[in-house]
C-alpha cells in the first residue's frame, strides 16, 4: 500500500496538530491573546500556553474556543485526540498504553504510590516533580497522567481492581491539603461500581510483590498481559508463563488484603487522621 499523501502539510502528531490549529484560527480571526482572554473570560496567558504546547487546557475552554471561532466540535475533537495520544508518554509506556486502551478489565498492585488512574492533579504534580520533571515537561507529564483517568469514565469503562500497600496511604505529600484531596478521592473511588479497591495492611507479612508495582490487562482476545514498573524502568510481559507467575503472586497478595468494605473504612480513617493533623 502506498504511503498516505499528506494533503495539508501540517503535523500528523495529535498534540502538535491541536497547537497548530489554535494558532491558525486565532491568526485568521485577528485576535490578540489579550483580546481572546477578554472575550472568553479566561486569563490570556492560558491561551498563550495552549498555543505553545505547554498545556492542553480543559474541555470547557476548548468548547468556548470552538464556539468563538465557529468551528463546532473541531477543536474539542483535536483536544481529545491530543489528550489520548500515547506518544505524549515516555517510550517505554507506549506499547502498554495502546494495550490498556483496549483492555476489558485491569488488576493492579501498588507498592508505594496510588496508580496513575487514581491520582489527583496535586499528587501527580508532586510525584513527577520528585522524579525530576520540570517546566514544560512537568506540565505535559501531569496532563498525560491525569488524562488517563478518562479510561475509567467513558461508556466502555473496564472493571478495575487495585490493591494498595498501606505504605501508599502513609507516604503523604508535602502539601497537606493536596494529600487530603488524594485520600478523599481514593475513598470515593472505592465506592464506584466499576472499581474494587483493597488495602494490604502492614502486618500482612512478606509476599512475592513486595518491590513490584504490577498491572494486568485482560484483552478482548482473551489474553492477559502484565506490566511491571519501578522509578526508572517499566517492562511489559506478554509470554504466558511469565504472566502466570506474576498472577500467582498477585492472587496470594489479594488473599492477604482487607476486604473492599474494610479497605474503604481504612482509607476513611486515614483521611480523618490527616484532617485532624495540627500541622495541616
Q: Output the CA torsion 166→90→140→158 (10° steps).
A: -60
pTM beyond 0.85: the answer is no
Strand-pair category, 195-200 with 159-165: parallel
pLDDT tens sequence across 169-190:
999 999 999 999 999 999 999 9
pLDDT tens sequence across 198-217:
999 999 999 999 989 999 99
Q: Which three cell numbers stand for residue 66?
A: 470552538
Angle between helices 74-83 and 14-29 (to 10 degrees): 150
Residue 9 has what pLDDT?
A: 67
Amino acid at each position: 500500500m502506498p504511503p498516505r499523501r499528506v494533503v495539508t502539510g501540517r503535523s500528523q502528531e495529535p498534540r502538535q496538530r491541536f497547537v497548530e490549529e489554535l494558532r491558525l484560527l486565532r491568526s485568521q480571526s485577528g485576535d490578540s491573546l489579550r483580546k481572546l482572554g477578554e472575550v472568553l473570560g479566561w486569563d490570556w496567558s492560558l491561551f498563550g500556553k495552549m498555543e505553545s504546547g505547554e498545556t492542553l487546557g480543559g474541555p470547557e475552554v476548548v468548547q468556548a474556543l470552538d464556539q468563538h471561532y465557529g468551528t463546532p466540535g473541531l477543536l474539542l475533537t483535536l483536544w481529545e485526540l491530543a489528550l489520548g495520544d500515547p506518544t505524549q508518554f515516555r517510550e517505554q509506556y507506549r506499547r502498554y498504553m495502546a494495550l490498556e486502551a483496549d483492555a476489558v478489565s485491569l488488576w493492579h498492585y501498588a507498592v508505594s504510590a496510588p496508580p496513575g488512574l487514581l491520582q489527583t492533579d496535586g499528587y501527580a504534580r508532586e510525584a513527577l516533580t520528585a522524579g525530576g520533571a520540570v517546566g514544560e515537561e512537568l506540565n505535559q507529564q501531569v496532563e498525560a497522567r491525569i488524562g488517563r483517568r478518562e479510561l475509567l469514565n467513558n461508556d466502555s469503562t473496564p472493571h478495575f481492581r487495585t490493591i494498595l500497600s498501606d505504605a501508599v496511604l502513609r507516604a503523604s505529600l508535602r502539601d497537606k491539603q493536596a494529600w487530603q484531596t488524594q485520600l478523599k478521592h481514593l475513598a470515593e473511588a472505592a465506592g464506584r461500581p466499576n472499581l474494587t479497591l483493597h488495602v494490604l495492611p502492614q502486618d500482612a507479612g512478606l509476599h512475592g510483590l513486595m518491590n513490584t508495582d504490577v498491572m494486568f490487562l485482560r484483552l478482548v482476545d482473551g489474553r492477559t498481559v502484565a506490566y511491571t514498573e519501578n522509578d526508572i524502568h517499566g517492562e511489559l510481559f506478554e509470554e504466558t508463563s511469565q504472566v502466570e507467575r506474576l498472577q500467582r503472586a498477585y492472587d496470594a497478595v489479594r488473599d492477604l488484603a482487607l476486604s473492599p468494605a474494610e479497605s474503604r473504612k481504612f482509607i476513611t480513617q486515614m483521611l480523618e487522621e490527616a484532617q485532624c493533623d495540627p500541622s495541616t
